[in-house]
Chains A and B, each alone.
Chain A
Amino acid sequence: MPTIKTNEGPAWRKRTPLKQWLVWAGWLIGLCIAVYAWQLISEKTIWMFVFDAPSQMADIGKRMAPPDWSYMSKLWRPVWDTLNIATIGTAIAMVLAVPVAFLAAHNTTPHKSVRAAMLFIIVASRSVNSLIWALLLVVIVGPGVLAGTIAIGIRSIGGCAKLIYESIEEIDQKQVEAIKATGGSRAQQMIYGIVPQILPTIAGVGVFRWDINVRGSTILGIVGAGGIGIQLNASINVLAWTQVSTILIVILGTVFVSEYISAKVRGAII
């Protein structure tokens, strides 16, 4: 126990002197990084605009109130589209993610090279934001809901497959061995030994991803890929701030509802 000597005898200290110095050094390095990063950012900032921000906020805040409720009637369709992008996108992703996960997990993969290829697919799909996928897909399939759906689908494959393959790797191998002992083929081992163990995970991952995707699909409209983002972008561009606040409230409501549903369903499954 690290102590220091005082007039009243040894007193307790949290760390030994060396450890304490190391902790201080860590803080110093962190501080240096922060200062350096801050300098780079502040070089590119026009501080006049930043100091002007409070008055801008007050101004836009004033213009946003009260929300234009009459605009709500035009928002049901975009909300429906947004939810469809999220749901169908998640469905596409799950259909593709399950085989990818099986090929990626080290206990079910046919070969190491297949595993490496699948891990690359997972990383590539996860690293690129759905907005970037949407940007590319709008060029390919044209603006609209389809581009958004595919974008959400591609982005979600990696996220879902990663969680599923990790759970495949953590299964109880004894059950698979039991099926093998009865003379089950490789396919039967998978269906009766592995799938029942990971089915709750698959369902949970799907619902969890859907919740994330509802949030993600609200912004795809900014690059023209359908959903409520189109209205948001249009209203901001024409400075119709009362409409913007209505849209924000609708997004807030949609996300809260989806989060509630996802939490309820996950609670029921797990």
Chain B
Amino acid sequence: MNQEASHYAETWKKPHFIKSSFLRYSIYLATIAYFFLAIYTMEVNWTRVAEGIPRGADMISKFFPPDLSDSRGVILDGILESIWMAVIATIGGILLSVPIGLGAARNLAPTWIYLFCRGIIAVSRTFPAVILAIFSVKFFGFGPFAGFVALSIETIGFFAKLLAEDIENMSKSQAEAVRATGASWLQWINYAIQPQVLPRMIGLSMYRLDINFRESAVVGIVGAGGIGAHLLTSVQRYEYATTATVLISIIAIVITLEYTSGYLRKWVQ
């Protein structure tokens, strides 16, 4: 008895996050090996980087003061274009998402519709908005319409997926109760499913508007309208004061949108 007590550990050690020590050390080793290899194969032109540091300092010094005059009126125009593109793409994307989301819910749709809708969602989620925008520009020509199409498709991947998941997780008893009254399919959707998912969907659509605005600020780089094109030209022309103005406007609008959407989401839920 006494002997046993003396074998108790007298110091305490924090338990490890990964319990198996073999797994832990092999993960450490693999991580170190990977980073070594990755950094080793990274081709960096260090003389160019060294040259670049004064250029970076120059860029930042030219950021201040930002050129707020916007003499040609292009910045305001581009920003407004981005905002309205984001708005219409969110609305269009949501309208398209509703049928696709209903089709992608396992408990509503037959298997072939389910697989088809899930396929659409998977493809639109995979490609970044900019790649979709490149193709939209090829198909629909330069301008905000191309951006609208690209962002709408992007919205489907996000919104339809979450809508489908929400429908799959809904309370079955309410759906059954409405069905038991002899409701038609449309009535069933409208009275049993829609009230369960709507509050969250309104919140998510505000959130998506926020994301779409961020994306609409860059699709212009590939010619799909919005402020991105002016941002690219201002950097290429070394007009960094203009670049600073654009960046500040983007940040300001994103903050405003984020606060508004957060507030609205709280109010809805």
Interface residues of A (CB under 8 A from B): 14, 30, 33-34, 36-38, 40-42, 44-46, 49-50, 52-53, 56-57, 60, 80-81, 84, 87-88, 91, 123-124, 126-129, 131-132, 135-136, 139-142, 144-146, 149, 192, 196, 199, 203, 215-216, 218-219, 222-223, 232, 236, 248, 251-252, 255-256
Contacts and interface: CB of A to CB of B under 8 A. Distances in A.
Contacts of A223: 221, 232
Contacts of B221: 131, 135, 222-223
B44 A144 contact: yes
A127 B254 contact: yes
A131 B231 CA distance: 11
Given A40-B84, A222-B130, A84 B41 contact: yes
Interface string B14-57: 10010000000000000000110011011111001101110110
B130 A219 contact: yes
A60 B88 contact: no
Most buried by A among B42, B81, B258: B42
A252 to B, nearest CB: 5
Q: Is the interface of B mostly helix, strand, loop or mixed?
A: helix
B251 interface: yes
A70 B192 CA distance: 54
B207 interface: no
29 contacts: A34-B87, A37-B88, A40-B80, A41-B84, A44-B144, A45-B140, A46-B141, A46-B143, A49-B140, A52-B141, A60-B135, A60-B138, A80-B41, A91-B35, A123-B254, A126-B254, A131-B221, A132-B247, A136-B243, A145-B42, A146-B42, A203-B17, A218-B128, A218-B131, A222-B134, A222-B221, A232-B134, A236-B134, A248-B127
A196 B14 contact: yes
Contact of A140 (B41, B55, B134): B55
Interface string B170-204: 00000000000000000000010000000000000
Contacts of A127: 214, 250-251, 254-255
Interface of B: 14, 17, 34-35, 38-39, 41-45, 48-49, 51-53, 55-56, 59, 80-81, 84-85, 87-88, 91, 123, 126-128, 130-131, 134-135, 138-141, 143-145, 148, 191, 214-215, 217-218, 221-222, 225, 231-232, 235, 243, 247, 250-251, 254-255, 258
A10 B255 CA distance: 49
B254 to A, nearest CB: 4
Given A60-B139, A140-B52, A252-B126, A129 B144 contact: no
A128 B231 contact: no
Contacts of A215: 126, 128
Nearest to A223: B221
A84 B35 CA distance: 9
A40 B43 contact: no
Contacts of A53: 139-140
B87 A37 contact: yes
Given A41-B148, A88-B38, A123-B254, A141 B48 contact: yes
Most buried by B among A36, A60, A140, A196: A140
Most buried by B among A44, A88, A248, A256: A44
A88 B218 CA distance: 23
Contacts of B35: 88, 91
Nearest to B144: A41
A81 B43 CA distance: 10
B42 A84 contact: yes
B134 A145 contact: no
Contact of A87 (B38, B91, B144, B214): B38
Contact of A139 (B59, B134, B191, B214): B59
A29 to B, nearest CB: 12
Contacts of B254: 123, 126-127
B235 A219 contact: no
A209 to B, nearest CB: 15
